[in-house]
Structure 1
């Protein structure tokens, strides 16, 4: 998910000629046990470290841009999965 969000952030900056030198994106994942005791992913945090000189007027916009990540959208609205097995 971090890579996906990073591509959106990079594109945002390139379209506005904003330097990405010194910019970074860090993804952290938290796990929690469900009712049956199995660990599951419970939270994903993405931190965007903006470079010195990043325009303040774009701070909220860069977060909203990262939220457009396609992977995030799939996790929020998961597709149906179907698994089959076939012999030749």
Structure 2
């Protein structure tokens, strides 16, 4: 049996933007160490939080949209790491 440190992403999580999209905007590759994926997701979520606050405070909706995509990528990383941990 492998240890948690050897667990890697499953490579099954994809992000689709909009309704009826058949081509993913991005997907998580298999084989990324789950701990690294979690660390990167945490960092992305922190950046997304900062962008959201700046976008609201400075009335810059483009920053909020950028935060939306960073959050989606962070969530995809976390979801795929979770799938990898279950294997």
- TM-score, reference length from structure 1: 0.29
Higher relative contact order (CA 8 A, sep 6+): 2
